[in-house]
Amino acid sequence: MSTSTNILDIKNIEVTYDNVILALHDVSLKVPKGKVVALLGANGAGKSTTLKAVSTMLASERGKVTKGTIEYDGNSIDKQNPSQMVGLGMVQVLEGRRCFGHLTVEENIIAGAYSRKLSKGDINQELEKIYTYFIRLKERRKSQAAFTSGGEQQMIAVARAMMAKPKMLLLDEPTMGLAPQLVAEIFNIVKELNQKEGVSILLAEQNTNVALKNSDYGYIIETGRVMLDGTAQSLLSNDQVKELYLGISKKGRKNFRDVLKEESLTKKRIN
């Protein structure tokens, strides 16, 4: 793949927090233009850190990219700050939705257009367009965001990000703590935004099955390293992925410890 077809190209990055805590060892990944890429892994694997490295939100958490490069749209993001990244069309939807609780649903969404110079009329036009994807939010536009449900708050967070007219969205665990039906609804919206608006998407998820079914490509990271990557289809049918992340196995259920034990046995045999 040449660089021009990739909207995001991360090469061998290492990230440390507070100059001592090594969060990412070696992560490389690519997001082709107009595609949905899933970043999978357990808690603490480094998914959020990777996304924050891309959106440059790391700095506000005393984190730093200490090795490697991140290129967005062909340019290094080295010297950028979060609001500049938003200006360049890269918007992150943070983990845990993070709505502005005391603002109304509509005010939350309008706040997303802050970085753009729009007239009142333009804003209303954009709002109507956004509401076609998030029909539920239109009904609740005057409610205070803190009093909406978890699913609605996630929709607010995504709608708010869409108001910035992003070329690329970074979604951090968009389905965390949501009922299966809502998970499906959120992913349907994400898919629709990707197809109709042409937004490239990098999403971090623990919900491996649903995430892969809605993505084109997947990366699996563990303790700050990419362990496995491939097309969503190939990962879904990969035995290791099935065993470790989907809980499906030929010989019944298996947990992570069993696999490690097996691996160490194989290693010993090799030695």
Partner 1 sequence: MVEELLFFMEVLVGGLLAGTMYSLVALGFVLIFKASATFNFSQGAMVFFSVLAFVGFMQDFNIPFVLAFILAALLMVVVGLCTERFVLRPLMNASEDTVLMATIGLGYVLEGLAQAAWGVEVRRLDLGIGDFPVPWIADNLKLFISALDITAGVVAAIMIIGLFLLFKYTKIGLGLRAVADDAGAASSIGIPLKHIMLLVWSAAGVVALVAGCMWGARAGVQFALVDLALKALPVLIIGGFSSIPGAIIGGLIIGAVEKVLEVYIGPFFGGAIEGWAPYVLAIFFLLYRPEGLFGEKIIRRV
155 touches partner 1 by CB under 8 A? no
208 touches partner 1 by CB under 8 A? no
Q: What is the CB neighbour count within 10 angstroms for residue 68?
A: 16
> Please, are residues 128 and 148 in contact by the beta-carbon 8 Å criterion?
no
Closer CB to partner 1, 168 or 220, in the complex: 168
CB of 60 to partner 1, least distance (A): 6
> Please, are residues 53 and 12 in contact by the beta-carbon 8 Å criterion?
no
With contacts defined by CB under 8 A, name the span among 3-11, 154-162, 241-249, 255-263 that binds partner 1: 154-162
Residue with tokens 């496995």: 228
Burial class for 155, CB neighbours closer than 10 Å (0-12, 13-18, 19+):
buried
Closer CB to partner 1, 94 or 227, in the complex: 94
Closer CB to partner 1, 197 or 216, in the complex: 197
Q: Which residues in the 32-61 window bind partner 1 by CB under 8 A?
A: 55, 57, 60-61
* 40, 11, 81, 186: CA torsion to nearest 10: -20
240 touches partner 1 by CB under 8 A? no
One residue of 87, 180, 198, 247 binding partner 1 per CB under 8 A: 87
One residue of 21, 135, 146, 248 binding partner 1 per CB under 8 A: 146
Q: What is the rounded radius of gyration, in angstroms, for the C-alpha atoms of the chain?
A: 19
One residue of 111, 210, 227, 259 binding partner 1 per CB under 8 A: 111
Count of residues making up the chain: 271
Closer CB to partner 1, 164 or 221, in the complex: 164
Strands (E), 33-112: 36-40, 63-72, 75-76, 90-93
Please name the residues in contact with 88: beta carbons below 8 A apart, sequence gap of 6 or more. Answer: 72, 73, 80, 167
Site residues (CB under 8 A) for partner 1? Answer: 55, 57, 60-62, 82-83, 85-87, 91-94, 98-103, 107-108, 110-112, 114-115, 144, 146-147, 150, 157, 160-161, 163-164
